[in-house]
Structure 1
């Protein structure tokens, strides 16, 4: 179990580096951060098995970090440590899911013993957990376009060339980027993602490059940027078409020179990372409109990858459904459900303007609201039943209801009023059948 990765979150840098050396000499891989927010970011963006965190840290304290980690992935083992130890804090941490509690100053042998116990528990977690699947394993390739895409991903992963991924919102561009990383020789290093459209220009610059203490008002301590966190690994810059010309110039220098400076520093630091970008915009058009640098465009677009929208690869929908049903069932602690043929047909025929992301959200909704172990046609949102992205077509709704009522009443006739047989004939649960009977006020009506 010594190939596990430990994240050390400790604002005393000397102590953090000491722990890192001890763990690495024992055979573990380590990451070191000095604040809670950066620790949480690392946990959410790369594989971490064990976290050892101080209680008192800037930006996000150890207890809050523990809560966030357990909400994100309950399988990550967390040990908390502090010089301000008391019984109440220890009990709170353990109740929240901490594996152990360590007082400062501590004995190294005791810390290693706690780490070893946590490592054994990590080894017992199911290797078949859907959350642990690799991105290239989740990518469905029943359609011809996805088969070609997966072949291209494998070829691209072996190179160091920059990649620009094109596709509509929600098609899975991040999944493609992560699959390239996982199949590359950098797979054991960091995969750091940045949504460039989520930050204004000034904040994006500090997020990417980091800053030194005192670099600007509010810079109370050094902060490592995303480039530095990704050093040795891969950085994924999503919505690259939204960055300003100023940031574009700085990014161009990073690509060309393979170096950068933190804000407020004159020290140039070397960088060794793979850059993958993505956009739902046409960068050629932005270049013509003078909104995107032409030299940067050619630097990023060495290997362009297009991800087809879901409406053009309907062959993938059923496999995606199966994956999302497993994930949603686990997240919501419900049994894995099946989907009726009628519901499946409706989902396949829907145009999916929100692509794979919309499908994933719809599946979770169905898992939550559906009765029994079968997702039925009636569990689908109305706009999907209507076959288009609109829930306001009342005429179609009336006709759909009329047809459904007639089918139910005739099934009742064929089953001679036996509710169990009627439900089986319709492929729905008895509970759903009674709900529909009440909906159409059929309690005292004769079948048609």
Structure 2
């Protein structure tokens, strides 16, 4: 690790609750992670873990097998990547609480995202906190509060981890901690049990505010701190292309925080790469699409900034001739693992809908002689068929070929359900418009015969 980096650890977050990669692909990208400056991975297994016994129903259809988990851990060790598992204990518990068997552990009966902290079974599994009936009754007691509810559950979970793994120190996202007073945090004793992870993914992050927050945690007795930036998955719930410039600015802001904060406390930074905003939302940028952004951010962190020299290093690792951070690089390609997916998704995202809309809404023959009115009544001037039909067939043939190529590339990296979901969300609606136009044209031609 370069001495320019203030972060001892630089971890890449793998969010497996959406489009989890096959182990074969992880074997290809772990060496790249290491080369780019990462020395750890934060794995959010969620339903991809091979649960057994009472928890077996939590497994996804294509969950990793025990031997695959061992292989992932072996690959990580091979490439000097420390593995930290990310386990949900409060919120984001949809993959558990959506099942009828565990629905009684919901904090609010209707919502499968938050766990009821009052039930002993909840610990065994290890936003709406305080809104369940049990919590409301508990909170009505004079000595109780939301702060106490949060800290009590956090201490219970951390204590369970430490009892079974004395050498492991739990890391907690600091959402709930940051609003708690110094006095309450200090008196709770939570600082002896966990290490907070301060997170923020925006590009114009309040550096001074984050430094003050770090100082607050120092005063409360926390010996170590972590921070979390993002390299993808933080700019739109259905984002398909990664805005590199946004994530670079975010990570540069974290460098400023590190330069001004208590350096002796800082353990490392996690570059998050969310794959869904939650268990039920659509997919955002697929991992191969975010690799150029990850490369830029890791190298900027490693070298203390992003310069022309750093840009050249990144381009060399990615096999790209010209890396643009303020555009989506519509014509760019590369040689990094998954670069074919990156190139094809960029092509589809930029041109598929645009080219179809151009035909449907701005082609004078379609808008003038085969409008929705004509299509409904199967009316068309015979001479217009030759002006419309070849263009529709040509466009449909071209895009079907691109989509088939992308499908093959995706199937090499992802499991069938992820491939199906991405294509249905991002290509089928537009392709179906073309197919419907062709069907209506055939119907109109048939009506004339």
TM-score, normalised by the number of residues in structure 2: 0.30
Quick check: which one's helix share is greater?
Answer: 2
User: Normalized against structure 1, the TM-score is what?
Assistant: 0.30
Kindly indicate whether structure 1 or structure 2 has the higher relative contact order, using CA contacts under 8 Å at least 6 residues apart. 2
